[in-house]
Chains A and B, each alone.
Chain A
Amino acid sequence: MEAELKKDECQLKSLISILLLLAALGASAFSSEKWLAERGDDSDVMRLRTAYAECTKKIAEKLEAPAENVSIPIETFPNGTVKSRVTAARAHIFADTGFVWGEKVRVEQYREDGTVHASLDAESCVVDRGSQSGWVAGDAKMTYGEASVKGRGVYFSLARQFIKIFSQSEIRVGHAKFDAGSLFK
C-alpha cells in the first residue's frame, strides 16, 4: 500500500515537472512585448534618416560627383557569389562614411544559384554598406516570391532580415503561401 502511494507520488511529481516544463516552453515561445522591445528601437532608423538628409544636402551642394548605372555588391556567399546587390541609375558613394545614396535604386537578394530571391525598388534611398541596412524616404516596392509589399518611408536591414514600413503599407499575398482564404469561410 505504502509502496503504491510512493509510486503515485513520484508519478504526480513527474507530471507536475512536465507541466512546468511545458509552461516554461510555452512562455518562452513568443513574447510580443519582447519582440516589440527588440524591434521597436528606431535608433538605426534615425541614424539612416539623418544620413539620408546629410547625403541629400551634400549632393545639393554639389560636393560629390554622381556616378551613373552603378552596381555595388553588398554581401556575398562563402563561395564568393553575390548574395545581395544594389543597383542605381545615379549614385553617390561617400567613401568616408560608407553610405551609398542612389536614385532609381534596386536592391536584390539572390539565392546561391544566382536566381533573385527578393527585390526592392525605390525612387531614392541611402544604403549603409557597413550595417547592410538602408532607408527609403519615398515610395518603395518589395517583391518576395508571390508576395509584394508597398509603402512610404521604409527601413530595411539585410543582416537582420527586417523591414519596417512607416506609412501607407500595403501587402499582397497569394493564397498559396498566405492561405488566409480558409479563414472564416
Chain B
Amino acid sequence: MKICICTYAAIAAIMVSAVVSAQGIADLDVNPDDIMLRKPNPAEQKAAAEKRAREEAAAKAAAEKAAAEKKAREDEMAKMAADRAAAEQMAREAAAAKTAAEQMAREAAAAKTAAEQKAREDAAALKQLREQLAAEQKAREQAQAEKADVEAKAAAAQKAADAALKKAADEKAALAAQAAAERKAADAAIEKANAAKDEAEKRAQRIASADPDERPRPTKKLEAPDEPAVASAQTDKQKKTAKKVLTGRPAVITAERTDYDRKEGIILFDRNVYVDDEQYQMHADRLWVFLNGTNDLKRLVALGNVAITNDLKTANCSRAVYNRAEQRIVMFGDGDDKPARLRDAGGKKGDASEVMGGRITYWLESGVATVEDVRVTLPAMKGGAAPKELFNIGGGKTKDKKKDE
C-alpha cells in the first residue's frame, strides 16, 4: 500500500516537473523540438524568419484590414446610428407635429363646440327675447282689449243707469198722474155727494113743509151717492196700496253675462245682476235660477252683496235662497261682521225696525221670519206704550228661534 502511494507520488512529481519545463520552454518562444531534437539550420532559420516576417506582415495586414474593417463597420454602425437617430428625431418631430396638429384640431373642435354652444345660447336668448316681446305685445293687446271691454261695459252700465233713471222718472210721472187723477176723481165724487146731499136736504125740506096729502110721490128711486165717503176717507196706507196695483209687467233681469242651459233648466246671471220686478228689486253679484221641466221657477239662489228692496222693506245678505215650493226665502250673513239684515222702514217716522242675524228665514205665506243668531233694533217707544207692530215685519210675525229654544 505504501509502495503504491509512493509510486503515485513519484509519477505526479514527474508530471508536474514536465509541465513546468514545458511551460518554461513555451515562455522562451522556442520550438521545443528544435531545442530538444534538432540543431539550428540558417536557411531554415532565414526561411523561418522570412516566414515569420511574412506571417507578421500578413498578421499586420490582417490586423490592419481587420482594423479597417472594424473601422468601416464602426463607421457604418455610427452612420446607421446617426441615420437611426435622425429618423427617430424626424419621427419624434413628426409625432410632435401630429400631436400639435391633434391639439390644434382638438382646440378647433372645442372652439367650434363653444361657438355652436354660444350660437345655441344666442338663438335661445333671441327666441326668449322674441317670446318675451310677443308676450309683451300680447299683454298690451289684451290690456287694450280689456280696456276697451271695460269702457264698453262702463258705457253699457251708464246706458243702463240712464235707462233706469228715465224709467224711474217715467214711473214717477205716471204715479203722479195717477194720483192727480185719483184726487180729481175723489174731489168730483165729494162734490157730487155734496150736491146730492143738498138736493136731498132740499127735498126733505119741501116734503116737510108741504101738505102730507100733497106730498109728491117719488117717480124715481133715490140713488145712493157713488160712495164719496170711501174716496174721501182714503188713508195714506190705502193710497199706498192703490199705487201697488199690479200691472203684470214682466220682470227684467240684467247682467253682464248670462248662461242659459235649457236642457238642465238653469240660468246663471253673472256680474252686476239686477232684477227689476213689479214687486221688488234685487241686486247681487251672481244669480242662479233653477227652472222645472215646464219652465216654471223652482228655486233662486243669489250670491254676493245681495240687496232686496220693495217699498219700505230692505234686506241685505251675502246669500239668499228662494224656494218656491216652500214659499220661503232664507238669507245668510257672512260671519259676525256681515250679518243678514232685514229692515222695515215703517209707515211713520220712528216706526222703523231692523232685525239682524246669521240666518233669517222668511216665510212668504205667513209673513213669519225665523232669525238665528239674532240682533234686533226696535222702534222708539212712545209714551211707554209698546210699539204696535213690534216684530211685525212684512205683515207677519218675527220669531226669535233662540228665544224659543
| Size range of the chain A interface in the assembly | 35 or more
Q: Is the CB of A182 within 8 A of B310?
A: no
Q: Choose from A30, A167, A170, A177 the contact partner of B297 (Cβ within 8 Å).
A: A177
Given A183-B329, A184-B308, A168–B260 Cβ distance below 8 Å? no
Report the interface size for chain B: residues with CB under 8 A from the other chain. 51
Contact code string A67-102 (vs B, CB < 8 Å = 1, else 0): 000000000000000000000000000000000000
Residues in A whose Cβ lies below 8 Å from that of B262: 144, 161-163
Q: Is the CB of A149 within 8 A of B258?
A: yes
Stretch of B39-47, B174-182, B224-232, B248-256 with 4 or more beta carbons under 8 angstroms from chain A: B248-256
Stretch of B16-24, B78-86, B105-113, B263-271 with 4 or more beta carbons under 8 angstroms from chain A: B263-271
Residues in A whose Cβ lies below 8 Å from that of B324: 179, 182
A113, B208: Cα distance in complex, Å: 78
A168, B255: Cα distance in complex, Å: 6
Which chain A residues (130-181) contact chain B, with CB distance < 8 Å? 144-147, 149, 151, 160-175, 177-181
In chain A, what residue has the closest Cβ to B296?
Answer: A177
Given A32-B288, A183-B300, A165–B248 Cβ distance below 8 Å? no
A39, B269: Cα distance in complex, Å: 13
B264 to chain A, nearest CB (A): 7
A145, B259: Cα distance in complex, Å: 18
Given A164-B258, A165-B258, A145–B251 Cβ distance below 8 Å? no
In chain B, what residue has the closest Cβ to A181?
Answer: B279
Q: Is the CB of B300 within 8 A of A180?
A: yes
Q: Is the CB of B322 within 8 A of A183?
A: yes
In chain B, what residue has the closest Cβ to A159?
Answer: B263
Given A32-B288, A183-B329, A185-B364, A165–B257 Cβ distance below 8 Å? yes
Which chain B residues (263-322) contact chain A, with CB distance < 8 Å? 263-264, 266-269, 275, 277-280, 282, 288-291, 294-297, 300, 308, 310, 313, 315, 322
Contact code string B145-158 (vs A, CB < 8 Å = 1, else 0): 00001001100100
> Which residues of B come within 8 Å of A, CB atoms?
149, 152-153, 156, 246, 248, 250-264, 266-269, 275, 277-280, 282, 288-291, 294-297, 300, 308, 310, 313, 315, 322, 324, 327, 329, 362, 364, 394
13 CB-based A-B contacts, threshold 8 Å: A30-B290, A36-B268, A163-B259, A165-B259, A166-B257, A169-B254, A170-B252, A171-B254, A177-B297, A180-B275, A184-B280, A185-B279, A185-B364
Shortest 7 CB-CB contacts between residues of A and residues of B: A169-B258, A161-B262, A165-B258, A163-B260, A161-B263, A172-B250, A171-B253
